[in-house]
Amino acid sequence: MSDLNVMTPAEIAATKAAVMDQVPDLKTNPEIQGQSPLHHADLESLAKVGPKQGGIHLREHKLLGHLTLRCNPESVDQLAAAERVLGVALPLQPLTSAENGDYSIRWMSPDEWLILVPGLEAFDVESKFRDEMGGHYSLVNSSGGSTVLELSGANVVELLKKCTPVDLHSKQFPVGKVVSTVFAKSTAIIRRTGEQRFELVIRRSFSDYVWLWLQDASREFGLVIEA
């Protein structure tokens, strides 16, 4: 270490951030059960006994890995590192998204992206970022703090019009577009994944409220729960 506790470039390169796997080893701790923010709603049971036809279909994509990346969008090296890790380039255009298999990346601000990956792969993705990306950046794992609801069906746009002031016309909100906006009296990150299909990233603390709101708002269309 040099004088005044200033690290040399070589010392910085040799330093690694402490990354902890937040998912317990089920082989040594089989009694630990992962529970999504809507675990209490028991959507799997509702899917078995509930209606099979309706204008709104709801599915929870639970226990995904949620990683927030902040880096320099003008850094060729950092963009290349992110693409090596994710297998797809970070979306640089505002309000857009990108996908690579089970990985999806949402543009959140000029230097911020929300990355969703299968839950059991979150630690591996974190570790790869630490190995591949240099320079000043931030990567935060907030997997336990949110969940993803998929809404689809013939009346999905009509339903969402009750919930958000965003213009959902396909010309203004095409497939792949992402917005972070007001949803009911809460907030959501909304991404269009099909002509009649959307994904909502909602915070754990508001998940029960959003679930109750959607049940009421979809009453006139018919709600189908999918496991």
The DSSP output letter for 87 is S
Nearest to 98 by CA among 82, 81, 74: 82
For the chain, counts of helices (H) and of strands (E): 6, 11
pLDDT at 224 over 80: yes
- Decide if pLDDT at 111 tops 80: yes
Report whether 106 contacts 189 (CB < 8 A).
yes
Please, which residues have CB within 8 angstroms of residue 92's CB and are 6 or more apart in sequence? 73, 107
pLDDT tens profile 21-68: 666 565 566 666 778 999 999 999 999 999 999 999 999 999 999 999
Residue 69 in this model has a pLDDT that exceeds 60: yes
Dist. CA 223–CA 15, nearest whole Å: 52
Segment among 14-28, 108-122, 139-153, 199-213 with least mean pLDDT: 14-28
13 or 52: which carries more pLDDT confidence?
52
Rg over alpha carbons for the chain, rounded to the nearest Å, is 20
The mean pLDDT value for 115-135 works out to: 95
Q: What is the pLDDT of residue 33?
A: 74
Domains, the chain, with CATH or none: 39-225 (3.30.1360.120)
- Predicted TM-score (pTM) of the model is 0.87
Examine the pLDDT at 85 and tell me if it is beyond 70.
Answer: yes
